[in-house]
Amino acid sequence: MISFVATPIGNLKDITLRALETLKAADVIFCEDTRHTLKLLNAYEIKKPLYACHKFNEAEAAEKILERSRKGENVAIVSDAGTPVVSDPGNTVCRILREAGEPYTLIPGASAFVAALVLSALPADRFAFIGFLPDKASEKRAVLEKYKDLDCTLAFHSAPQDVDKDIKAMFEVFGERKAAAVREITKLHEETTNFTLSQGLAGEKRGEYVLIVEGATEKESPLNALTEQEHIKHYMAAGLDKKEALKRAAKDRGVSKSELYPFAIDL
């Protein structure tokens, strides 16, 4: 059996009972950094053979994982922190296993951007997780351009040396928006700072960050500059009947149809 196992993102107590059971039952564990994973295993007195599975050897590691699983071994796959595959190695492994018809499962647990979304106090009913932005300025801007019109909260990962550059690029593409920077999640010095993109994030940058940014607001229709009657007449001239024109104009202006009805009586 192959299991991707979510591990703590800071506090080592944030590991599930199923995760511990899976790691204890594993014949072998593939991990992003063997030294990092060893600290977690030592904390729970788990001793298992460890093999590397990182972005530079993922395809090779996937073949070894597949081979061991087909021999009947229990294989666990972890990243340094959080849920594997999400902004971590593992996607290539998933693809190769799926193409080979080999089943696998996920033992769910901690996820940094979900925690940050809650801590930010920004709308969490709909959101998009973008992850890390490219290093190159032009590529960074190109990615942001793709998401600038999304009317849902956006979540980004950002390394401390990239935070200021990422926020600057966001302001240039998105314009003014509310945002929150969350760091040291689940650790002793967990911190959430709310700010606006124009302000930027003050202070020295330490630790890995999750940046949560307000989504785009609905753009006001240029037709709203017309008078109420002119607005309705615009849609009627386009071929809509009065009832439908009234409905469309009300939606543009963010008001009820009954509020606009007096302006349509004489049309």
Least reliable range by pLDDT among 81-95, 142-156, 187-201, 214-228: 214-228
Query: What pLDDT is recorded for position 137?
Result: 94
Regarding whether 26 and 106 lie in a shared domain, the answer is yes
pLDDT for 85 beyond 80: yes
Residue appearing with tokens 């939606």: 251
The β-bridge relationship of strands 2-5 and 104-107 is parallel
> Would you state the structure tokens that stand for residue 14, as one six-digit string?
């944030």
- Final residue in a domain of this structure, among 76, 92, 110: 110
Rounded CA gap, 241 and 34, in Å? Answer: 69
Both 101 and 10 in a single domain?
yes
8 and 101 fall within a common domain: yes
- Is pLDDT of 197 > 90? yes
pLDDT at position 158, please?
Answer: 97
Together in a domain, 226 and 256:
yes
Report, as an integer, the average pLDDT of 231-246: 85
Helix, strand, coil share of the chain (percent; to 5): 40, 20, 40
Task: Find out whether 75 and 59 touch, Cβ atoms under 8 Å.
Answer: no
The domain of 163 spans 113-213
Given a cut of 80, whether residue 21 has pLDDT beyond it is yes
Domain stop point among 69, 87, 110: 110
Of 98, 79, 77, which is closest to residue 30 (Cα–Cα)? 77
Q: Examine the fold and report which residue of 193, 213, 233 is the final residue of a domain before the chain moves on.
A: 213
The band of 195, judged by pLDDT with boundaries at 50, 70 and 90, is: very high
Instruction: Provide the CATH number for the domain around residue 155.
Output: 3.30.950.10
Cα–Cα distances (Å) from 158 to 109, 120, 161, 251, in that order, read 21, 15, 8, 38
List beta partners, residue 192.
182
Question: Taking all residues of the chain, what is their mean pLDDT, rounded to a whole number?
Answer: 93
**Are the CB atoms for 115 and 14 separated by under 8 Å?**
no
For the stretch 96-108, pLDDT in tens is 999 999 999 999 9
Quick one: which of 87, 82, 85, 86 has its CA closest to 95?
A: 85
What average pLDDT does this structure show over 32-46? 96
Same domain, 46 and 74: yes
Residue 175 shares a structural domain with residue 250: no
Q: How many Å from the N-terminal Cα to the C-terminal Cα in the chain?
A: 71
**pLDDT band (50, 70, 90) for residue 261:** confident
- pLDDT at position 256 is 86
pLDDT at residue 62, rounded to an integer? 96
7 shares its domain with 104: yes
Q: Residue 21: give its domain's CATH number.
A: 3.40.1010.10
Q: Note whether 76 and 152 are same-domain residues.
A: no
Which residues neighbour 126 within 8 Å (Cβ) at sequence distance 6 or greater? 152, 153, 215
Domain total in the chain: 3
Q: Are 267 and 229 in contact (CB under 8 A)?
A: yes
Same domain, residue pair 71 and 7: yes
| Average pLDDT score over residue span 23-37 | 97
pLDDT at res. 221:
67
DSSP 66-99: HHHHHTT--EEEE-SSBSTTSSSTTHHHHHHHHH
Are 92 and 23 in a shared domain?
Answer: yes
pLDDT at 220: 61
Q: Are both 74 and 118 inside the same structural domain?
A: no
> Do 138 and 208 lie in a common domain?
yes
